Chains A and B, each alone.
Chain A
Amino acid sequence: MKENKFVIKQISVFSENKPGRLAAIARALQEEKINIMAFSIAEADGFGVVRALVDKPKKAHEKLGELGFNVAFTDVIAVQMKDEPGGLYETARILGEGHINIEYAYAYSGKEAAVLILRVDNVEAAIAAIQKGGGTLIESSLFQ
């Protein structure tokens, strides 16, 4: 399945909503010389999930697990956007027309382009729809 090269492993870390938890996670990654390309925090009632795209996801999983953190891999995809007005609209339009439902998303604006990271319910279908709609997916090898 050639689409799999577009499937990126995000690490998701369960964290209580209290001071110092993000620092503990970030410090662990620093110690392992793991670079964070993008991340976001989702919070619910008293707890949250720290989501991150890192260059060495397996190593990050291992290290955080050793420290007692509850870590899981989550499959996400990354769509390249033009870093100019209308860039997000163009990407969002493709997703909408492709009937792709976004569970959550976060974005960063890099040197070459802006990137939208998406968690969708059906990854394979989303990849196909984005390609069909003329969107540009980023291969996981570019991150990891």
Chain B
Amino acid sequence: MFWDEKTETLPKRDLEELQLKRLKKTVASVQNVEFYRRLLREAGVRPEDIRTLADIEKIPFTRKQDLRDGYPFGFFAVPIHEVVRIHTTSGTTGKPTVVGYTRNDLETWAHLIARNMTMVGLTDRDIFQNMVNYGMFTGGLGFHYGAEKVGMTVIPSATGNTKRQIEMIQDFGVTAIHCTPSYAMHLAEVAEETGAHLESLTTGLFGAEPWSDAMRAELEKKLGVTAFDSYGLSELFGPGVAFECPERDGLHIWHDCYLVEIIDPATGETLGDGERGELVVTPLVKEAMPLLRYRTGDITMRFEDDCLCGRAKKIARITGRSDDMLVIRGINVFPSQIEHVLLRIPEVGNHFMVYVDRVNHLDEMTIDVEINRDYFSGELQDLARIQKKVVKELRDTLELRTTVKLVEPGSLPRFEGKAKRVIDRRGEM
């Protein structure tokens, strides 16, 4: 099924023509952003130098770090009064990355989500429970508006209270759910333990963290759904950038809205179809926050052949990261963020170790941090207070509950050269 069949199945020539037209428009619109004026000037690229799609390679990359430097509104290409929504996502340090949307952006985004949902067979007859964080995270409101666009009955259940989630699925006859794959697994097990039946479910949309085909098989068996992988990032609106079709072999990225390149993350060199590398995207329709050649950090490849469904070339499901970003319960975490938080707390040292485990299918992050010698009063309750403070500061910045372990001063490893502060013990999901 198609939401916008004409656009989704544009012949190659028409698609490239549309992409080029939109790329030129995007390069023109970034002239409103100081960062891009300078970037293009320094690279010696004038807007009129972009004559073919291949000319995009003349433009330097944009990195997440650049967005941080533009905090908060440095990347907005429109006056702030035209921005009708702001979301944030994890930054590489203390400040989050800010993304903005014009009214048109929200409309475009909702349509993209509607395309994805229609592609997997959902219609206005479906009852949809959206079990992700609403608020600053783009996953909640993104899917919410997309599902309403399709005309579904939307239950904005958000996260937490698994028994209640199950009750709503049963009582409201929910047919489709959206959540992280690990939460879906948790939900399935709670349902199993309590003997709850979820037979109304047909479709599971899972995203925000990488998951394997083994996990897919497990989820489908336990929940009785057909499971689809969802990919997106806030810098490119949020979820809905790419999605599996019923073939469920790779992700359809919406080529009319996102210009895809795959690069070697070490050299920046462009790679061909079938070669695995970092996904670089130039969004073609964003008004509030246009970006050029944005390095997503996600590792994938572009398939050599078009998909049978008619929506052109897919990219492979994401297999990893080119940087040290962690995905914890669907939330992106950079170790540098943790360091930044610790630097602000004099009671603890700046060395730390992060351990990531999976307990009952849910990610748990434990951070070992040294107590600062000068702040030890001898009282246990003061230590407990420091521990709580670190947990709170981390939660405020990462929007994530963590376990903090206070360790003796000088007991954590010191690294010369590249630090290896993260021990991920989760294995493949």
Q: Do A and B bind each other?
A: yes
| Distance between A65 CB and nearest chain B CB, rounded to angstroms | 9
Question: Which segment of A70-78, A90-98, A106-114 sits at the interface?
Answer: A70-78
Q: Are B379 and A12 in contact (CB under 8 A)?
A: yes
Q: With the chains together, A51 CA to B384 CA distance in Å?
A: 16
* B54 within 8 A of partner (CB): no
* B376 within 8 A of partner (CB): yes
Q: Are B371 and A14 in contact (CB under 8 A)?
A: yes
Picked from A47, A103, A104, the residue with its CB within 8 Å of the CB of B406 is A47
Contact with A along B48-60 (1 / 0, CB 8 A): 0000000000000
Q: Which residues of the other chain, A, contact B411 by a CB distance below 8 angstroms?
A: 16, 68
| Distance between B108 CB and nearest chain A CB, rounded to angstroms | 48
Given contacts A14-B383, A45-B387, A48-B380, contact A70 B405 (CB under 8 A): no
Within 8 A of A (CB), among B350-388: 371, 373, 376-381, 383-384, 387
Residue on A with the closest CB to B374? A70
| Distance between A104 CB and nearest chain B CB, rounded to angstroms | 8
* B331 within 8 A of partner (CB): no
Q: Which residues of the other chain, B, contact A104 by a CB distance below 8 angstroms?
A: 380
A-B contact count (CB 8 A): 56
| Distance between A9 CB and nearest chain B CB, rounded to angstroms | 10
Picked from A16, A48, A49, the residue with its CB within 8 Å of the CB of B378 is A49
Given contacts A44-B387, A70-B371, contact A49 B379 (CB under 8 A): yes
Q: Are A49 and B405 in contact (CB under 8 A)?
A: no
Q: Which residues of the other chain, B, contact A49 by a CB distance below 8 angstroms?
A: 378-380, 383
Q: Which residues of the other chain, B, contact A103 by a CB distance below 8 angstroms?
A: 379, 381
Given contacts A14-B371, A69-B408, contact A44 B376 (CB under 8 A): no
Q: With the chains together, A48 CA to B50 CA distance in Å?
A: 64
* B121 within 8 A of partner (CB): no
* B409 within 8 A of partner (CB): yes
Q: Are B378 and A47 in contact (CB under 8 A)?
A: no
Picked from B373, B377, B378, B380, the residue with its CB within 8 Å of the CB of A44 is B380
Q: Which residues of the other chain, B, contact A15 by a CB distance below 8 angstroms?
A: 408
Q: With the chains together, A74 CA to B203 CA distance in Å?
A: 62
Contact with B along A21-46 (1 / 0, CB 8 A): 00000000000000000000011111
Q: Which residues of the other chain, A, contact B373 by a CB distance below 8 angstroms?
A: 70
Residue on A with the closest CB to B370? A70
| Distance between A44 CB and nearest chain B CB, rounded to angstroms | 5
Main secondary structure of the interface of A (DSSP, over half): strand
Q: Are B380 and A70 in contact (CB under 8 A)?
A: no
Q: Which residues of the other chain, A, contact B410 by a CB distance below 8 angstroms?
A: 68
Given contacts A15-B408, A47-B406, contact A42 B380 (CB under 8 A): yes
Within 8 A of B (CB), among A109-130: none
Given contacts A44-B384, A44-B387, A45-B387, contact A70 B408 (CB under 8 A): yes
* B158 within 8 A of partner (CB): no
Q: With the chains together, A109 CA to B139 CA distance in Å?
A: 63
Q: With the chains together, A26 CA to B196 CA distance in Å?
A: 55
Picked from B379, B381, B407, the residue with its CB within 8 Å of the CB of A47 is B407
Residue on A with the closest CB to B375? A70
Q: Are B380 and A16 in contact (CB under 8 A)?
A: no
Contact with A along B385-429 (1 / 0, CB 8 A): 001000000000000000001111111000000000000000000
Q: Which residues of the other chain, A, contact B381 by a CB distance below 8 angstroms?
A: 103
Contact with A along B190-216 (1 / 0, CB 8 A): 000000000000000000000000000
Q: With the chains together, A51 CA to B377 CA distance in Å?
A: 12
Q: With the chains together, A51 CA to B380 CA distance in Å?
A: 10
Q: With the chains together, A15 CA to B409 CA distance in Å?
A: 10
Q: Which residues of the other chain, B, contact A69 by a CB distance below 8 angstroms?
A: 408
Picked from B378, B384, B387, B407, the residue with its CB within 8 Å of the CB of A73 is B378
Picked from A47, A71, A74, the residue with its CB within 8 Å of the CB of B383 is A47
Picked from A14, A16, A45, A70, the residue with its CB within 8 Å of the CB of B384 is A45
Q: With the chains together, A28 CA to B300 CA distance in Å?
A: 56
Count chain B CB atoms within 10 A of each CB in A44, A68, A70 and give the residue with the most: A70
Q: Which residues of the other chain, B, contact A68 by a CB distance below 8 angstroms?
A: 408-411
Q: Which residues of the other chain, B, contact A43 by a CB distance below 8 angstroms?
A: 380
Q: Which residues of the other chain, A, contact B405 by a CB distance below 8 angstroms?
A: 16, 45-47
Q: With the chains together, A101 CA to B405 CA distance in Å?
A: 30
Q: Which residues of the other chain, A, contact B380 by a CB distance below 8 angstroms?
A: 42-44, 48-49, 104
Interface contacts beyond A45-B405, A46-B406: sample of 6 additional A-B pairs, CB < 8 Å, sorted by A: A16-B408, A49-B383, A68-B411, A70-B373, A70-B376, A74-B379
| Chain B residues within CB distance 8 Å of chain A | 371, 373, 376-381, 383-384, 387, 405-411
The 4 closest A-B pairs by CB, nearest first: A12-B378, A72-B378, A74-B378, A70-B376
A–B Cβ pairs within 8 angstroms, 13 of them: A12-B378, A14-B376, A14-B406, A14-B408, A16-B408, A44-B384, A44-B387, A47-B383, A70-B373, A71-B376, A71-B378, A74-B378, A104-B380
